[in-house]
Structure formats: C-alpha cells, structure tokens
Amino acid sequence: MFEDSSIAASMRTYVVETAPVLAVLLDANLCVTDTNAQACQLLRGEAVGRPFAEQLVDFKQSVDLAALVRQEGVVHRLTLCTASGMPETLTFRFFPVEGGTLALGSLDFREQQNLRDEVLGLNRELNNLTRQLHQANAELRELNELKNRFIGMAAHDLRKPVGVIMTYSEFMLDEAGDRLDDEQRGFLRASLAAATGMKRLIDNFLDVSVIESGHLRLERSSAAAAELLADVLPLVRLIAARKKVELITEAGDDVRPLSVDRAKIQQVLVNLASNAIEHSKTGQRVWLTARTEGQGRVFSVRDEGPGIPPEEQKRLFAPFARAGTRKTAGERSVGLGLAIARLVVEAHGGRIWVESVPGSGSDFLFSLPV
C-alpha cells in the first residue's frame, strides 16, 4: 500500500513539513545538508553546512557519531543542545541514503516520563513546603501579637511608677533644693535623669507595640511646614542649650498645608533633632529645614557630627539598630527612635532616609505628601 506514489509523496510532505520528528540529511563527512521543519526549529543556530556533532551535548567526548551512523536502524539516545538553550534527549536511527545518511530523531518518551515524574515530585515537595511556611507564618504572627500585648501591658504598668519618681524628684529639687547639699542634689538629678530616660524607653515600647499591632490611628489636621518646625523648637531647645549647640530653622515660603497627625510628626522631628544634638559637639550647629519637592515637602535634620558609615546606614531604621558612632555626652539609646520614625512617616504615605559621609555630619530626611 505504501508503494503507491501519491501516498509516498504525502508521507514525505508530512515528514518534511509537519511531523514532530527530526529528519536530518548528512553528507559523507557527517555535515548537515538539509533538515525538515521540526529540525530547523529545534536545532541550534544555522545547522546546514556544519558538522552534526556540533549539535550534540557530549561532555565526556564519548559519542562516536561515525560508528553510530554505520549501525543502520539501531536506536541511539542522543542529547541535543536546542535553539532554546535547553538540552533535549531524543532517540535516533540512522539510514544510508544516496550520497550520505538520513538521521531520524524523535523525543525519548521514557526521558519525558522521568522528567514529568521528577517535576511532579518537586511540585508536591513545594506544596508541602508552602503549607509549612504558611503554618510557620501564622505561628509567628500569633507570637508577635502576644509579644506586642505583653510589651504594651508591661510598659503601661511601668509608666505610672516612673512618672511618680520623676514628679517627686522634680518637686524636691524645686521646693527643697536650697536645703540640700551638692551631693544630695546630684543624687536627685541622677534619679530624675534615669527616670526620664526610662520614661522615654517605655513610651518607645508602647509606640512600637501599638504600631506593629496595626492599631495606629492618625488624627490628621492641617498644618504648614513652618508650624511643624515651630512645634519642635521648645522641646529640644533646652537639650541644645545644655550642650551649647546652635539650632537653625528654615521652612521656606510654601504655605500649602499638610494633612498630618501633628503630634506624631512632632515626635519624629523631636527624635531626629535630639539625635542630631546628642551627636554634636559644643559649638556645632543643627539645621531643621523644610523644602518643597514636587507635590510634597521634604523635612531635613542635619548635623555636623561624625557621620555614619555606609554599611550602617542600610540597617539604621530597623528596630534596635544603632549606629557605631557614640553620642558626645554618652547618652544611651536602645535603637527604637528611628524605627518608630520610619513607621510613622510611612503611615503618612511618605518615606524616610539618611544621607551621610563619615566625618562630614549626617542629614536625616523624610518626605510627606501635600
């Protein structure tokens, strides 16, 4: 039946144009002289006129193509480097034809099945790992919520006794200070300073627990950049005066209001300004400025301190991260202030960053949309 000329012609046309089989004609030197459509799509580069061996993946140099060609009709498994760059294993048979050899290749179904089995196995493993990851994330969220509740409760309970210590220390210094000797006044001032630092730490823990629990609520109101900077000065002027650091403010002439939680932005600016003052030496200056940039405002707190190395800048706004530079008066910090500042600024739809060169001071900036 297949000897019928019309059937034979149809089969040749199918093999050449459509069949999912590689048909490659090789000359006596095993160079490619012609290919069918499937081979043209699969083979790498311009195969015609080049040795067929260049198409093979043969890392061990163990494939003797000339020997394989002489084994007429025998099945050989060969791996080709395809046009996509991915290796593909096919089963080949070689048949002698006038002037050379016909190489017929088809996909190795066993190799495909093995590959499918491997992919399915990897997919099952990935699904198991995904389920474990979801479970671990759920447990971590629960533990984080418990942590935040514990910190919030502990900090809330500590705030009152610390406040009492501060109140009585201030009262005794104001009312009975003239009846105390220098040593006794020093003890009270040390107690007041320690209690003040503890209150700041407690407030930071409460802020972190509230923000991380998702309960941060912004009480927005309209305020110009100049007003926000003016809010900060009374709160940091005394710290600056004690260290004889000059404060310079510049708000520009843009009076368009910002919609912000005024107390929260004040907290950010106070934190940045306090850090700048604490890293400054006597006689140095700290700039608090605001400028218009696009449709928003950029606030800047710049100092003349020691600067921050580039490797520390990347982690500076993470909780409990601290710069390696020491504060000039030995002030202590647990590294929560900048993390809180970042969370507050991001809650307003802005961003915060630092620009610093070691030895040339630091510039902490944050943007707020109008």
81 C-beta neighbours (distance < 10 Å), count: 17
Mean pLDDT, rounded, for 24-53: 90
The H or E element that residue 114 is part of is helix 109-176
Q: How many CA atoms lie within 13 A of 12 on its CB side?
A: 7
Structural domains counted in the chain: 3
Per residue in 299-355, pLDDT tens? 999 999 888 888 888 888 876 655 555 555 445 555 677 888 888 899 899 999 999
Mean pLDDT, rounded, for 29-54: 89
Whether residue 97 sits in one domain with residue 156:
no
Whether residue 181 sits in one domain with residue 313:
no
Residue type, 275: N
Whether residue 121 sits in one domain with residue 68:
no
Whether residue 333 sits in one domain with residue 268:
yes
pLDDT at 288 over 60: yes
pLDDT at 4 over 80: no
Residues spanned by the domain of 206: 114-212
Whether residue 229 sits in one domain with residue 200:
no
- Out of 47, 82, 107, pick the residue that ends a domain: 107
Mean pLDDT is lowest, of 104-113, 233-242, 284-293, for 104-113
Mean pLDDT of the chain: 83
| Residues facing residue 369 across a β-bridge | 296
Dihedral angle over CA of 300, 303, 306, 307, nearest 10: 10
Per residue in 206-260, pLDDT tens? 666 666 666 677 889 999 999 999 988 888 888 888 889 999 999 888 888 899 9
- Out of 107, 133, 163, pick the residue that ends a domain: 107
- Out of 160, 180, 212, pick the residue that ends a domain: 212
**With contact defined as beta carbons under 8 Å apart, do 279 and 361 qualify?**
no
Q: Which residue would you say has higher pLDDT here, 110 or 12? A: 12
Whether residue 165 sits in one domain with residue 238:
no
- Name every residue whose Cβ is closer than 8 Å to that of residue 130 and which is 6 or more positions away in sequence: none
Predicted pLDDT of residue 1: 47
Alpha carbon 338 to its chain centroid, in Å, reads 18
Whether residue 350 sits in one domain with residue 234:
yes
Whether residue 228 sits in one domain with residue 354:
yes
Euclidean distance between CA atoms 197 and 199, whole angstroms: 5
Mean pLDDT, rounded, for 280-294: 92
Strand order through the sheet with 22-26? 32-35, 22-26, 100-107, 87-97, 76-81
Mean pLDDT is lowest, of 31-40, 143-152, 241-250, 288-297, for 143-152
CATH number reported for the structural domain that contains residue 247 in this entry: 3.30.565.10
Predicted pLDDT of residue 121: 86
Mean pLDDT, rounded, for 354-359: 89
Predicted pLDDT of residue 209: 66
**With contact defined as beta carbons under 8 Å apart, do 265 and 225 qualify?**
no
Which percentage of the chain shows pLDDT scores above 70? 86
Whether residue 359 sits in one domain with residue 225:
yes
Whether residue 57 sits in one domain with residue 136:
no
CATH number reported for the structural domain that contains residue 44 in this entry: 3.30.450.20
Mean pLDDT, rounded, for 177-192: 82
Mean pLDDT, rounded, for 63-69: 90
Whether residue 70 sits in one domain with residue 185:
no
Whether residue 22 sits in one domain with residue 102:
yes
